[in-house]
Amino acid sequence: MDTQNEWETMSIGLNRENFIHNIFEPMFQANYRKCAEAIGGIRPNYLRDIIMNPNRDAGTKTLTYIYRFCVRNGMDPYPYIFVKK
């Protein structure tokens, strides 16, 4: 298997369903501002766009912030961030 070719076809993303049902709604009562402040580094408008628009993907920086938020709070980040080959 060609390692270079494998990396070219891999992508990471946000599992919206899990994020909404396990973090956004129960922890922040679906409040974009509170959630964005707790995650840190992202604006509420951007968070709303990511959640409400299925065509909008979260960038690497945002996924890193979500990953760090999960680790800080003792949560497993992998149900919210996926790697697709």
Dihedral over Cα of 80, 60, 36, 69: its sign = positive
State the pLDDT confidence band at 84, using cuts at 50, 70 and 90.
confident
Looking at residue 11, its pLDDT comes to: 81
Residue 58 · residue 66 · CB < 8 Å: yes
Residue 9 lies in a domain: no
| pLDDT one-digit tens code per residue, 2-59 | 556 665 677 889 999 999 999 999 999 999 999 999 999 999 999 999 999 989 989 9
Residue 36 lies in a domain: yes
Number of domains in the chain: 1
Looking at residue 6, its pLDDT comes to: 60
Is the per-residue pLDDT at 68 higher than 70? yes
Least Cα distance to 75 among 1, 13, 23, 12 occurs for 23
Looking at residue 8, its pLDDT comes to: 67
**Identity (one letter) of the amino acid at 1?**
M
Looking at residue 31, its pLDDT comes to: 97
> What is the residue range of 32's domain?
14-80
